[in-house]
Amino acid sequence: MDLGYSEAYEAFRGEVQSFLASAWPLAGDEARLSTAEQHALFRRRAIEAGYLARRIPRRYGGSEQEPDVLKATIIREEFRAAGAPGDVTGIGPSMLVPTLLERGEEWQKERFVARTMTGEFGWCQGYSEPGAGSDLASVRTRAELVGDRWVVNGQKVWTSGAQTADFMFCLCRTEPEASKHAGISYLLLDMNQPGIEVRPLRQITGESHFNEVFLNDAETPADWIVGARGEGWSVSRSTLKHERNSIGSAEQAVLFFDGLVKLARNARRGGRPALEDPAIRQRLVEVEGLVRAHEYSGYKQLTASARGRDPGIIQLMNKQLTTRINHALSKLALDLADDHALLAPAEWVRNLPPTEAGVWMAIFLESLGGAIAGGTSNIQRNIIAERGLGLPRDRAAQRA
């Protein structure tokens, strides 16, 4: 079996390489712009050339390309090799944008999509509350329509990135008399207003990426609502589907695995590189098997999404795989790194490739959150069992 790219794809790779050779890094006066400005400028050019925002229609600032998993992979590989900024990642592009494209008003798409894709608008997700996590439909944050504005009161928690976000998409109770699921609306809020207070929460790694968000008479215009009033629950289902899509991607696992192999090459066991130790090789191969299976399963999920088909439970299974792999990878890395792993400053995780022994402790600690974020593993396993495999409902969960 030949797993190489065909000639046509290699020709495409050549086009990407020559675009990058002329477009990145920026030169002359442009090289004196701030890093954020350089990235935004380069991204606009890469979108124009058809390399970024490929699934976004042109009228909303994307490059509207035919879905092609292999081309997308080649672009990512070449952009990474050139150190060029790729598609903006995070909550805005991966969750809000697809939700707006699916359910938003025309003016909402025009106003928010393009600037989210270039990184100018940052978003946070206001779903969870102290009494509403797995049981999300229990949200109690109230929004009342007063004249032409919604007035919002309540509290969100675990809100990733709220400390830097420009906007929040959130679930609020707008019809208190309606049944639990029918009384919710999906609102967009400007974070820069006196009615919103963000308090960082300290995480196990020592960093503070998520927050409590207090909404005290926060305001938002009446038409900053996605979907109809009271339809927020079904809109939130679209966002969660896209969240699991992005959490389920194998890209990070592949990157971490490459780092793990480098670590095994550099670490010593009995005076020899750990990579030569049969027990370590066995564990590496087990992890690699999972990573490769996840890669192909990720392609399957992506292909289904790109063709407009519902990927079904495969996206939930991929999220489970990601959680399991990140945990197994980082545990093996900790064994290889020994006490060097204890030296990890948490910030390294975001700024360095995972080749340094010390980074792995932070990756390990972060991997624990993967079993909770975007829906806990317990809940997801129940959904896979019940809706995917048709097993009877979990009686313990029904009693809870």
Ligand X SMILES: Cc1cc2nc3c(=O)[nH]c(=O)nc-3n(C[C@H](O)[C@H](O)[C@H](O)COP(=O)(O)OP(=O)(O)OC[C@H]3O[C@@H](n4cnc5c(N)ncnc54)[C@H](O)[C@@H]3O)c2cc1C
Q: Find the helix packing angle between 359-369 and 251-266, rounded to 10°.
A: 150
Nearest approach, Cβ of residue 7 and ligand X (Å): 43
Nearest approach, Cβ of residue 189 and ligand X (Å): 13
Element holding 70 (H helix, E strand): helix 69-82
Give 250 or 365: the residue with its C-beta nearer to ligand X: 365
Give 248 or 369: the residue with its C-beta nearer to ligand X: 369
Give 135 or 310: the residue with its C-beta nearer to ligand X: 135
In 3D space, the residue among 13, 76, 9 whose CA is nearest the CA of residue 298 turns out to be 76
The residue whose Cβ lies closest to ligand X is 133
Cα distance between residue 242 and residue 116, in whole Å: 16
Residues 6+ apart with CB under 8 A from 352: 359
Residues 6+ apart with CB under 8 A from 46: 19, 23, 52, 79, 84
Adjacent-strand bridge partners of 168: 124, 189
Nearest approach, Cβ of residue 20 and ligand X (Å): 33
Cα distance between residue 111 and residue 71, in whole Å: 29
Cα distance between residue 283 and residue 230, in whole Å: 51
Give 244 or 283: the residue with its C-beta nearer to ligand X: 244
Which ranges in 339-390 belong to alpha helices (H)?
348-351, 359-369, 377-383
User: At 267, is the secondary structure helix, strand, or coil?
Assistant: coil
Nearest approach, Cβ of residue 196 and ligand X (Å): 15
Q: Is 243 a catalytic residue?
A: yes
Nearest approach, Cβ of residue 371 and ligand X (Å): 8
The length of the chain, given as a count of residues: 400
Give 60 or 123: the residue with its C-beta nearer to ligand X: 123
Cα distance between residue 326 and residue 194, in whole Å: 39
Q: Which of 243, 276, 295, 356 is catalytic?
A: 243
Give 60 or 186: the residue with its C-beta nearer to ligand X: 186
Dihedral, 97, 103, 107, 110 alpha carbons, nearest 10? 30
Nearest approach, Cβ of residue 251 and ligand X (Å): 18
Site of interaction with ligand X (CB under 6 A) = 124-128, 133-134, 158-160, 210, 369, 372-373, 375-376, 378-379, 382, 397, 400
Q: Looking up tokens 């996206």, which residue turns up?
A: 315
Start-to-end CA distance of the chain, whole Å, equals 51
Amino acid residing at 5: Y
Q: So which residues are the catalytic ones?
A: 243
